Chains A and B, each alone.
Chain A
Amino acid sequence: MSPNNFIIKPAPFLRGREDIKSIMWTVVMALMPATLWAIYLYRFRALMVILTSLIFTEIFEILFLKIRGVKNVIEKSFDGSAFITGLLLALNLPSTSPMWMCVVGSFVAMLFGKHIFGGLGSNPFNPALVARVFLLLSFPSLMTRWSIGVNLTTQTFATPLGMLKTQGVSSITNLDYLKLFFGFPIENVGGGSIGEISEFAILIGGTLLIFRRIIPFFVPLIYIGTVFVFTAIFNLIDPTRYASPFFHMVTGGLFLGAFFMATDMVTSPITRKGKVIFAFGCGLITSIIRLFGSYPEGVSFAILIMEALSPTIEKFTKNKKFGE
């Protein structure tokens, strides 16, 4: 009746409720407002970009897990991490992206962004960002064909940040910042990557992540705040050359990057102090690229650069021990 041999397992015998799956799928949930808004604006085009990216990241995830000889491949491939990568990649692409480019992006994300380093947890860079920058450098013109909303013509337009870079401040002063914030289409202005159009939608998802304690509130706050302060300083110095900080808030990938990529656990410093420095550095580099660089947008590069610095930042931001 009574078993004489019990299972030996080290303490503790209780576990918290949050696991990798619940974290990852919550992030997916948090990306839904931005995703749905993208689909609303670009309908079939956005849907195709998103589905292609999702399906192919999953396929490559399964393939590379198999090649690496990981057990329980199917279960592992649905831990949500590949899903996030696929979705983030899609949200970082223009609505005009050809399907083959989504496939290439998925491949690069999964191989060079993730599995070549040993898979989940071992990648130094955010896989979706690696893929996005790879595509941006390889196919610059395809990656910057911006259309306006569902009204799909062959015609493409510059994004507000693009206009600022090529035509100067005067070209963007008449834009309705509120419209940009909520992500409503503006005539003759390109929308940008499908997921970054509505800062409002991103903010809803980001707030969910903060309340679920999946991301710390201060990372997006410091990132966005740094960009605000930095661009405000230059705007005050010379408003005819540098755009308003509010303009910088509501354009480009700042919100998407600050809430969903600079907060990537795997690639940002593990310490609190480290995260603060990381977020500040992202804000600083983004601002410098936007203000002085030759690219109109700098969020992807800023985060990748800071990710490269992340191990070093960790070294200098060790926690203080209790009693030290």
Chain B
Amino acid sequence: MAKIYSFGRTGVHPDERKDYTENKPIEKVKSGEFLYVAVNQHIGAPAKSIVKAGDRVLKNQVIAKGDAPVTSVVHSPVSGEVVEIKSMIFPNEQKNEVIVIKNDFKDEKVLGTETKREFKTNREEFINEIKNGGIIGMGGAGFPTYVKMNSPKDKKIDLLIVNGAECEPYLTNDYRVMLEYTNDFLNGISIVLDNLSIPECFVGIEENKIKAFELLSERVEDKRIKIKLLKTKYPQGAEKQLIYALTKRVVPIRKLPFEVGVIVQNVSTIKAIYDLIVFNKPLTERVLTCTGKGIKEPKNLYAPIGMSVSEIANICGGIYEECKYLINGGPMMGKPFADISLPITKTTSGLLFLTDEEVTVEEENPCIHCGRCLSVCPMGLNPTYLKEASDRREYEKMDDVLDCIECGSCSFICPASRELASSIVKGKQKYTKYLKRGK
């Protein structure tokens, strides 16, 4: 048996609940009549729409971009006409410009896109291509991939880690990608290794996805790629924890993985890089898991980015009346959607349609000081005190909020049902503003 890697004694063990969709092959979904493409799907400087109502757009045409060092571009997933550009409210009261495109079903592509090409070039051009392909971290955070690859000159990168942990319950999208696009995935890794001159790659996969581990171990030919088994534990796939689990390298506090010579990429991101480099196909579609007891036919879908949740729900047989929660992402870190008309984005790894039975909502009780949040926090923080400081805006006690990775383990374990993570995440925003104001 292979060695099993893990990140230490912290973390939690939520129910996995992957059985709804883990054996469902990915279904390719065709775009409907209207697509709602959000302008900002990434972390970083906001992008702006470069089209206006009435414009005709081609498939794969750039329709929004930013011009700051850390930003991203967005492409049209279909050919058609821009109907309007409207503002929609995403979770956390975030306003986002959404480009509404009426599909003309002609599937007219920008010349040269989605055709096989020979891509032989240098590192700079490769990174630039990733930038122009609109590729961002598809695990959920949405950090622009080209920034992640553009390591400072003085930092020697000797390892690429591909995050196949998929430690969030319910989600099976990365698992299905590894099973069904095995060769694309492995070739994608080789492409990244070649272009960034990285000598080695570890693919970390949790034990509950043993089939993917076995398949990849069997198929892998590139000697630089090593498939590694991880213990099923949350948050095994958190970047710093994953690096530690596989290499025992500790990313210093508030530093990036560059610091320890590592770049981490998500499974779907690797697949997107493969599609971009080999087929000149920018990121306009993704695999996502639609699941939960609130949806009639849970599925893994390969859907165009910008498709509305209601359309996706219909593809999955519709929603049961008992469905009370709609979550974009996994159940530990995902964001609640209030409105079914919102579209999916590049970071939508899953849509969870959950019932009261699945979501535990209990009244918050006073902290009994049990210390469970401290013992599960993968960053070694004191969540209960940080929550109190955050709620009361006690800035002098809040500095540690910046180290929170928002994994939600503290709220998960809290016997008093306290919303620790949520308060700390809000505290992070308050504290960052406070720092900007200047003490």
Contact = CB atoms under 8 A, between A and B. Distances in A.
17 contacts: A1-B318, A3-B323, A4-B339, A6-B323, A10-B336, A11-B333, A11-B334, A14-B331, A15-B412, A23-B415, A72-B363, A265-B368, A270-B371, A271-B374, A318-B382, A322-B253, A323-B253
A312 interface: no
B367 interface: yes
Nearest to A120: B366
A6 B336 contact: yes
B234 to A, nearest CB: 9
Most buried by B among A1, A5, A16, A19: A16
Given A6-B326, A11-B332, A12-B408, A1 B321 contact: yes
B325 A6 contact: yes
A10 B378 CA distance: 20
A265 B381 contact: no
Interface of B: 12, 14-15, 91, 169, 240-241, 244, 250-255, 310, 313, 318-319, 321, 323-327, 329, 331-341, 352, 354, 358-363, 365-372, 374-375, 378-382, 384-385, 400, 403, 408, 411-417, 419, 421-422, 425
A324 interface: yes
Interface residues of A, number: 43
Contacts of B381: 319, 321
B324 to A, nearest CB: 5
A3 B321 contact: yes
Nearest to B241: A322
B362 A19 contact: yes
A5 B338 CA distance: 5
Contacts of A268: 369
Contacts of A20: 365, 368, 415-416
Contacts, number: 178
Most buried by B among A8, A10, A265, A268: A10
A266 B422 CA distance: 23
Most buried by B among A8, A15, A122: A15
A138 B244 CA distance: 58
Interface string A3-44: 111111111111110111011000000000000000000000
B336 A2 contact: no
A119 interface: yes
A59 B366 CA distance: 21
Interface in A36-74: 72
B421 A12 contact: yes
Given A11-B411, A79-B365, A323-B251, 6 more contacts: A11-B332, A13-B358, A20-B368, A270-B382, A271-B374, A322-B403
A98 interface: no
Contacts of A18: 372, 413, 415
A22 B416 CA distance: 11
Contacts of A14: 14-15, 169, 331-332, 358-360, 412
A239 interface: no
A36 to B, nearest CB: 27
A23 B360 contact: no
B384 A270 contact: yes
B335 A272 contact: no
Identify the 7 closest CB pairs spanning chains A and B, nearest first.
A10-B422, A12-B408, A121-B366, A15-B360, A323-B253, A13-B331, A6-B326
Interface of chain A, main secondary structure: loop
Interface of A: 1-16, 18-20, 22-23, 72, 79, 118-122, 265-268, 270-272, 275, 318-324
B403 to A, nearest CB: 6
B305 to A, nearest CB: 21
A309 to B, nearest CB: 15
Nearest to B8: A322
Contacts of B333: 11-12
Contact of A321 (B331, B335, B403, B425): B403
A122 B379 CA distance: 26
Contacts of B413: 16, 18
Contacts of A266: 368-369
A319 B385 CA distance: 12
Contacts of B321: 1-3
Contact of A120 (B251, B254, B368): B368
Contacts of A1: 318-319, 321
Nearest to A271: B374
Contact of B371 (A15, A265, A321): A265
A1 B319 CA distance: 8
A22 B370 CA distance: 13
Nearest to B377: A319
Given A14-B359, A23-B415, A319-B382, A122 B336 contact: no
Contact of B325 (A4, A9, A72, A120): A9
Contacts of B323: 2-3, 6
A11 B422 contact: yes
Contacts of A5: 338-339
Contact of B374 (A3, A120, A319, A322): A319
Contact of B327 (A13, A23, A271, A320): A13
A9 B417 CA distance: 13
B372 to A, nearest CB: 8
Most buried by B among A13, A122, A266: A13
A273 to B, nearest CB: 11
A120 to B, nearest CB: 6
A120 B365 CA distance: 9
Contact of A323 (B240, B319, B382, B415): B240
A216 B106 CA distance: 66
B368 A2 contact: no
B251 A121 contact: no
Contacts of A19: 362, 415-417
A14 B333 CA distance: 10
Most buried by B among A12, A72, A270: A12
